[in-house]
Amino acid sequence: MKNAIQEIIKKVPKGKIFDSHYVINLLISDYSDEYLTFASSGENPQKNTASVHGRIGQEIKSFSGLVEQVGEAGEFWSDNIRGNSSECTGWRRK
């Protein structure tokens, strides 16, 4: 999963802002096997969508050499995987 997220982040032009939903949507469309493996693994007993996507947000955050958080967690508003608008975190590509 880390490699998939890193590849997605590296494709974002430096200085551009993106959000967690952007990364999650690309994971599902372009890295579906990795996404499904990640979603069904982990120590968290709750394997619901919000929990898994929160873990993906933490993975994005771990790439501090490539990204920096923009604003507060949950400050961004964009379409989630179901096409519904919801809160997410914003990132700037370094």
Question: What's the pLDDT tens digit per position in 8-20?
Answer: 999 999 999 999 9
Calculate the CA 43 to chain-centre distance. 18
Would you say residue 92 has pLDDT above 90?
yes
The Cα 94–Cα 9 span in angstroms is: 10
Q: What are phi and psi of 92, to 5 degrees?
A: -115, 130
Percent of the chain with pLDDT over 70: 94
Mean pLDDT value of segment 42-55: 76
For residues 9-45, b (16+ Cβ closer than 10 Å) or e, as one string? beebeeeeebbbbbbbbbbeeebeebbeebbeeeeee
| CATH code for the domain defined by 2-93 | 1.10.10
* Domain residue limits, the chain: 2-93
Q: How large is the average pLDDT for residues 70-77?
A: 90
Three-class SS state of 74: coil
Q: Is the pLDDT of residue 23 over 90?
A: yes
Is residue 51 pLDDT above 90, yes or no?
A: no
